[in-house]
Amino acid sequence: MSNLYYESAYRPLLALDCVIFGYEKGTLKVLLSRRKQDPYKGAWGLATGFLHAGESLDEAASRVLKKQTGLDNIYMEQLSIFGEVDRDPTDRVVSIVYYALVKADLYDQAVLEDKQAAWFPITDLPRLMFDHEDMIQKSWGKLRRKSRYQPIGFELLAEKFTLPELQSLYEAIHQKQFDKRNFRKKILATNLLIKLDEKQKGVSKKGAYYYTFIPDKYDELVQAGFNFELKSMAFGQ
């Protein structure tokens, strides 16, 4: 049977491309690196690699993310397949695209420097190789949609955070402002957060209290979903 497959089936190269999102100081960012070979040598692009024998797609994506960031156990999700015939001028390459969310306080700067990698604001990306711009835009759209009914956006935050920081994150993801009172009411109603006896220092005289997630509740909401209704909280709507 295997000989029949080899004789009759076309075998393109199978790549994994990973859109890595991070969040820092009110800005949603994407991790890019310089390509070290032709075609597009020196151009900016996504973390990428080819599928190895014996690997599942998720295992291959985890390997690519580990190589690019130095991190394990990153939140990732398969997005889509990009398989246009002429997407790679060298050979026929079909790409399985994943998007990943990385916490700001876990960036491995030494690995980033070694990989000639850098973070770019989602709204100010450089010219990219291949069809990586389309991959990023499609991933961003998925992140916006999914953050309305699952709390995956929290994967971008540090272990403890203030409510203003949480609101700024969601505003960065959706590129719109939300009403402060409605946002807080909605997020606290999920019973997802624990208020800590610690305030943020050096920002204002009063300081905002830090919060953290309830792990079991977070996992429950990821599985069951929740209706965050972000549109109803936006200014001007």
DSSP 138-168: HHHHHHHHHTTTSGGGGGGS-SSEEHHHHHH
pTM of the model: 0.89
Mean pLDDT, range 144-163, rounded to an integer: 89
Instruction: Render pLDDT for 20-56 as a digit per residue (tens, 0 to 9).
Output: 999 998 999 999 999 988 899 999 999 999 999 999 9
Mean pLDDT of the chain: 88
pLDDT band at 148 (very low <50, low <70, confident <90, very high): confident
Sequence-distant (≥ 6) Cβ neighbours of residue 75 within 8 angstroms: 100, 101, 152, 155
Question: Residue 219: CB partners within 8 Å, gap ≥ 6?
Answer: none
pLDDT of residue 235: 62
Give the separation between CA 60 and CA 49, rounded to whole angstroms. 8
Looking from the CA of 64 toward its CB, the CA atoms found within 13 Å total 29
Q: Which domains does the chain have, with CATH numbers?
A: 2-146 (3.90.79.10), 151-233 (1.10.10.10)
Taking residue 213's Cβ as centre, other Cβ atoms within 10 Å add up to: 19
Say which amino acid occupies 110.
A
Q: Encode pLDDT of 165-216 as tens digits.
A: 999 999 999 999 999 999 999 889 888 899 999 998 766 667 799 999 887 8
